[in-house]
Structure 1
Amino acid sequence: MAEAAAKTVLDKISQGHLECPICCCLFKDPKMLDCLHSFCLNCLEEMMSKQKPKAKKITCPVCRRETQVPDGGLQSLSSSFFLSSLVDEVKQQEAALGEASAPTATCDCGEGKEAMWRCLDCSDNLCQKCREAHERVKSTKDHQIISLGDWHKSKMPPAEHSKPSKPITRMCTIHNDHPLYFYCDTCDTLICSMCATLDHRSAEHNLLKIDDSIRSFRTEVDNILQEFEKCRQRFKSTEKSIEHARKRLQKKLAQARSDIDAKAEAEITKIRNKAKLLTDKVNEIGQERDSEYEKALMHNRKQMERADQTIAAVNDLMSQADDVELLDLKPKVMHNLEFQKELKCEPANHGPSFIGVKCQDVVSDEDLGEVCVSEKWQSKEEFGKEGTGDGEFQFAARVACFTNGDIVVTDTVLNRLSLFSSTGRYKTSVAQGDAGHQLEAPCGVAVTHDDLLFVTDQKKVKVFDTELQFVREFTLSADDADGQSESDLTAVAVDSQRVAVADMGRKVISVHNLDGSMIASISNNMVKNFLTISNFGRLVFTNYEGQSLLCVNFKGKEMFRVKTFMNGKAAQPTGVLCDDDETIYVAVHSGKRGDSEVQRYDSNGAFVATVAQGLFNPLGMAFTPTGDAVFADIYSVKIFERM
């Protein structure tokens, strides 16, 4: 059983790593192309014979990259000594297991003649006639040939294969009796002491000991591979962002078609043809833009596929070849690694991901509507005014929406929660000291999918129903960040399973189950007054003084931190909100009231566009069940339709 398992492992190694991609047999005299892929010399020669006569380049059948054929022909290409050694080792292991793959007693020429010799470079058995031919041919005359009997005797027993072998002493090809000792960094070649004395003694030749040179070479390769990994992460992040934009485009396309159909039905038959024309126009734009996204994705994937092939070849070489061979191949390796300079990542263009329809009444021969190719919000409703009475505000700071469309507004000066209908009609309110509501200084508000209203109230989080009736409360953990600061709960956000609370006093974001039990506590000095949870399980928040938009995961790892700007100048962010497709919306202030706007960012924190302008002083933000955006705007509440 053990021998069978060992044989299976050897077969897998042979098939996966030691077979020529052309002939699918174990490598014989493998040669390496500039792309670091290796093939049998005979296979390359046969392939070259089928190309144009006297071709100066050979195309790799794996990656299609070209290699300049040396003046001495294909036999002058770099030999893959480590592959030859591995092939020989596998054959020895198979022989030790008593398998049929052990060296045969006949010559590998196929004529059935008795084998008397073994070529260590080709791993072939040779008869006397083949040996003589081997020594005559220019490409093989320097190969090391020993008797077949000596070769059998030289094989180690299986138990000794695990012992580390001594480094092979390579001799100089010019001075055959001198070992290679130096590496000339100027000439990119291995030399012996005689070479150093005779041909590389001038000051322009930078000579290094082999050990020092290989150490420097490995370090250089490691650094480049690390840059490759960073590049891979950028491609991965960009692809994810492109996919988000593409999904948003599909969602918006579907909504646009739905809007068109609704308007078309209202106008019945007379607008059916115009509806179709408009739909075709939307589809045409959508297809063109989707095609561009597809091109960007395919470009980036092909770039990384090519890079991965190069990295795989380099990694195999670096892990399997010996030091001398690595240095011999250094020019080719470094040439291949320069591919990273050519990598060009197509960025995620979020602008074309938006498409909508602005419909209008059909009169005479006017079109059914117009296609909106960029996102733009327009004012829809506004209610409230400055004052202290019902439905009035001194400092409307936060908003939240129930599933029936009702809007909850927090006034942090009046310490009051007010409830309004979706159209702004005042319904009820609770304030500091109201009996039965246990409310002191409400601030942050958020509503769950089952209509529970979570409110931060100084050091506690309190829960209310749709009529603003008190349900329960919970207190955050006493383990604060510095052991001294007191809690000051300023913001709350919810998703389907969790509630996150910003504690500006202790500089902590705590994450809880909906019943108040603790999940995680995250220390962050930037946490302030506004917070939201994204669908990807991230916490997004703003820092007004630091003019920053930040994102961390539930373990506290910072995913991004970006500065916010208006008209090229640093600006202060307040309210923040995440859409279903991971789009982030931020209310941004120039520093004076009456000149604020809402900006859109992608899931990686990259600015996309300004979607609304001319707000007074927007703070808290929320989405209505129908997708409109609601703002607490100091003395009023504004509702914007998202186009």
Structure 2
Amino acid sequence: MAEAALHTETTCKIRHVHIECPICLSRFTDPKILDCLHSFCLKCLQELIDKQDPKTDVIICPMCKKETTIPDGGLSDLLSCFFLSSLIDDVINLEGPKEDINSPVSTCEGCDEGLEAVSRCVDCDANYCKTCLDQHTKLKAISHHQIVNAAGASTERPKDKDKTEAQKCRKHTDQELCFYCDTCDLLVCPKCAVLDHRASNHNLSEINDSIRSYRRAVDEALQKFDDCRKQFQKVDDSIKHSQQRLQLMVDQALRDIVAKEEEEITKIRNASRLLQERVTQIGQERGEGFESIQSSNHDKMSRAEQIVASVNDLMQHADNFELLDLKPKVMHNLDFHKELQFQTVQHSKSFIGFKGHGIVTDADLGEILEEEQWEVKTEFGKCGEGEGEFELAVDVVCFSNGDIVVIDSLMCLLSTFTSKGSYKSTGVQSGTEDGKLKQPFGVTVTSDDLLLVTDGQDVKVYDRELRYIRQFRTSQNQVEGQSESLLRGIAVDKKDRIAVADCKRKVISLHNMDGSIISTIHHGDISSYCYLSVSSKERLIFTNYGKMKLVCVDFLGNEVFNISTSVDGKYFNAYGLCCDDAGDIYVSVRCIGWGTDEIHHYDASGEHIGCVARGLFYPLGMTFTSTSDLIVANWYSVKVLRRL
């Protein structure tokens, strides 16, 4: 019984396909696995990288072109495929000792029958009977094998998938199959066509025409699968973003709880511990929900990938008659995309926070917030020209010690306030001529508390005491026929790379701290009220007030999204913006004909989440504090918002 089992097509395929290296077409020797899960002989991989650039530290898979990093110890440190090695040993044990190749009678290496070997494959160094030889050359995805027949004569077996020998009709054995009936999904001969398929409801076509139509249908189905893959990637990226944001919010909530716990020490330690456990539990439950939905989406995509892989393999290796025989089953399997729907998650579930009570008891430290809400924590400033007053508060920034700096574009002043809104000082209205502000608009701060201000054509640098240090221009040499610069929004990333928006030349330039330029990005949506922010993913986000747009580009200038800030039929002009640590975007908007102004929340992909604050008056520049409060320059005043 065991020997009989060896005579199957599957056994032949295992011997001559699955345990043979795709490079040398021989049985694996010391097989190694690449990151893409394809396996090759160690010696073949070594020969492969010997042909590459010696400086390259990756190896490219010859099957799928994916890259695998070469370990420090060389290719020998790659994972060994013990399964293949074991399978080869089992096959060798089943085959037993080989007979003398000169013997007129030997064992066919396809079915193990002791028959006279009809032919020998020189390329594979193996004898085959006629049946197994046909199967062998069919399985081998190569152009030809050199065959030596029993008499010693050499011949070549060509492999041409596109040419199929005509087959005879089973019913009319003297007739060739030359038509395909789409109505019955059958290959038919001329007699069958006349006798059995001539009714008006039978759709007959020549085999070549049917094959072309068949392949077009498969291509269309595969294109629909590509659309499903794109949808899957979008949903999966959204879930990953929500997971990351959830973790950031969980961590922030835990830090807030611990801070409040330290204020009250032992009296509230037990309550603090219970709250931490509850926050962690909520985070775990929501995280598990995200993972469950993500896992379900991955399972759906994995099953779809398997179907597509099987269809692609069939379309590449089967001949025309086999393809048409299997057409109903293939097309049925490709209908999966109609039911391939991916689940999404509620972005709001990625938020969790903590609000401490003003009066703390032994058992009541505060409450856990499971939905994101904001309130005004403090507000300072009023219309006027005195200390702590504003003519037009256009932008705002926060130092590492919590001090708030506000820029007034009409009075050309920078003013400093404490984190609670108490006035401290006003600067740069006097001093050197270079230090004076003439057309200030945007302001930002570096990691070491240097203040950067856009002022006409210049970026001016001040210290924490608002003392002038230096300045630089984003374009030293004007191009003939090009307008002069007018700098507006400015932002700094965590590596202290400076991004500056020039509304007249419609460019965003990236600079080092010394002012030297890194790159320049051109974009037609850069406007005169262009505020600018940098996310943690090396993306530049800016607003266009007139066109009511929110635009995101990467550091290479590739557009990530370009969306309208109008929502549900309401028109909102976008002004200032800033990003939180999770990459979410907050935009101050001016409502047109709909009452008070608002602050809107978008996720990192540009999806509108909702409104977080209403009742503002011309909200302009914004920034986050180190404690995640949101500071808004509100024309005549400054508002500090906090999450409830």
TM-score by length of structure 1 reads: 0.74
Deviation sequence 1:50-105 (CA, Å, 0-9, x none)? xxxxxxxxxxxxxxxxxxxxxxxxxxxxxxxxxxxxxxxxxxxxxxxx99899973
Q: Does 1:389 align with 2:386?
A: yes
Deviation sequence 1:114-141 (CA, Å, 0-9, x none)? 567987555599xxxxxxxxxxxxxxxx
Aligned residue in 2 for 1:68: none
**Structure 1 residues 198, 564: CA separation in 2 closer, same or farther (over 3 Å shift)?**
same
What CA distance in whole angstroms lies between the structure 2 residues aligned with 1:414 and 1:100?
100
**Any conservation in 1 of the 2:599–2:613 contact (CA below 8 Å)?**
yes
SS at match of 2:165: coil
**Cα shift at 1:181:** 2.5
**Cα shift at 1:445:** 1.3
Aligned residue in 2 for 1:511: 510
Deviation sequence 1:220-276 (CA, Å, 0-9, x none)? 322332332232233223222222222222222233233333333433444343333
- Residues 115-514 of structure 1 mapped to structure 2, 5 A cutoff: 123=133, 156-157=155-156, 166-361=163-358, 367-424=364-421, 425-431=423-429, 435-477=433-475, 484-495=482-493, 496-514=495-513
Aligned residue in 1 for 2:521: 522
What CA distance in whole angstroms lies between the structure 2 residues aligned with 1:188 and 1:194?
17
Aligned residue in 1 for 2:10: none
- Residues 35-74 of structure 1 mapped to structure 2, 5 A cutoff: none
**Cα shift at 1:149:** 9.3
Aligned residue in 1 for 2:636: 635
**Cα shift at 1:396:** 0.8
Aligned residue in 2 for 1:558: 559
**Cα shift at 1:164:** 8.5
What CA distance in whole angstroms lies between the structure 2 residues aligned with 1:246 and 1:155?
64
**Structure 1 residues 226, 479: CA separation in 2 closer, same or farther (over 3 Å shift)?**
farther
**Any conservation in 2 of the 1:566–1:590 contact (CA below 8 Å)?**
no
Deviation sequence 1:484-518 (CA, Å, 0-9, x none)? 44432211111114221212222222222333333
Aligned residue in 2 for 1:145: none
**Structure 1 residues 259, 363: CA separation in 2 closer, same or farther (over 3 Å shift)?**
closer
**Structure 1 residues 435, 461: CA separation in 2 closer, same or farther (over 3 Å shift)?**
closer
Structure 2 residue identity aligned to 1:307:
A
Deviation sequence 1:575-609 (CA, Å, 0-9, x none)? 11111211111112222697122222211111223
Q: Equivalent pairs: percent with the same residue?
A: 47
SS at match of 1:171: coil
What CA distance in whole angstroms lies between the structure 2 residues aligned with 1:369 and 1:588?
33
What CA distance in whole angstroms lies between the structure 2 residues aligned with 1:498 and 1:590?
33
**Any conservation in 2 of the 1:594–1:616 contact (CA below 8 Å)?**
no
Structure 2 residue identity aligned to 1:238:
V
**Structure 1 residues 593, 448: CA separation in 2 closer, same or farther (over 3 Å shift)?**
farther
**Structure 1 residues 6, 154: CA separation in 2 closer, same or farther (over 3 Å shift)?**
farther
Structure 2 residue identity aligned to 1:310:
I
Deviation sequence 1:387-410 (CA, Å, 0-9, x none)? 123322111111122222232222
What CA distance in whole angstroms lies between the structure 1 residues aligned with 2:379 and 2:23?
79
Structure 2 residue identity aligned to 1:468:
L
**Any conservation in 1 of the 2:576–2:588 contact (CA below 8 Å)?**
yes
Structure 2 residue identity aligned to 1:11:
R
What CA distance in whole angstroms lies between the structure 1 residues aligned with 2:539 and 2:332?
41
Structure 2 residue identity aligned to 1:401:
C
What CA distance in whole angstroms lies between the structure 2 residues aligned with 1:569 and 1:176?
74
**Structure 1 residues 556, 270: CA separation in 2 closer, same or farther (over 3 Å shift)?**
closer
**Structure 1 residues 104, 576: CA separation in 2 closer, same or farther (over 3 Å shift)?**
farther
Deviation sequence 1:422-451 (CA, Å, 0-9, x none)? 333231222499634053201111111122
What CA distance in whole angstroms lies between the structure 1 residues aligned with 2:617 and 2:102?
84
Q: Does 1:569 align with 2:566?
A: no
What CA distance in whole angstroms lies between the structure 2 residues aligned with 1:210 and 1:12?
40
Structure 1 residue identity aligned to 2:583:
E
Decide which moves more: 165-174 or 321-330. 165-174
**Any conservation in 1 of the 2:488–2:502 contact (CA below 8 Å)?**
yes
**Structure 1 residues 441, 305: CA separation in 2 closer, same or farther (over 3 Å shift)?**
same
Point out where structure 2 has 5 or more consecutive residues left out of the alignment: 1-19, 33-98, 120-127, 136-146
**Any conservation in 2 of the 1:420–1:428 contact (CA below 8 Å)?**
no
Decide which moves more: 217-226 or 600-609. 217-226
What CA distance in whole angstroms lies between the structure 2 residues aligned with 1:448 and 1:99?
80
Aligned residue in 1 for 2:42: none
Decide which moves more: 439-448 or 407-416. 407-416
**Any conservation in 1 of the 2:360–2:366 contact (CA below 8 Å)?**
no
**Any conservation in 2 of the 1:351–1:609 contact (CA below 8 Å)?**
no
SS at match of 2:166: coil
Q: Across the two proteins, how many residue pairs are aligned to each other? A: 534
What CA distance in whole angstroms lies between the structure 2 residues aligned with 1:485 and 1:602?
35
SS at match of 1:550: strand
**Structure 1 residues 558, 379: CA separation in 2 closer, same or farther (over 3 Å shift)?**
same
Structure 2 residue identity aligned to 1:359:
G
**Any conservation in 1 of the 2:565–2:574 contact (CA below 8 Å)?**
yes
Point out where structure 1 has 5 or more consecutive residues left out of the alignment: 17-97, 126-147
Q: CA RMSD in A?
A: 3.6
**Structure 1 residues 322, 506: CA separation in 2 closer, same or farther (over 3 Å shift)?**
farther
Q: Does 1:617 align with 2:615?
A: no
**Any conservation in 2 of the 1:432–1:439 contact (CA below 8 Å)?**
no
What CA distance in whole angstroms lies between the structure 2 residues aligned with 1:436 and 1:182?
87
What CA distance in whole angstroms lies between the structure 1 residues aligned with 2:102 and 2:550?
66
What CA distance in whole angstroms lies between the structure 1 residues aligned with 2:427 and 2:598?
29
**Cα shift at 1:627:** 2.5
**Cα shift at 1:636:** 0.8
Structure 2 residue identity aligned to 1:614:
G
SS at match of 2:514: coil
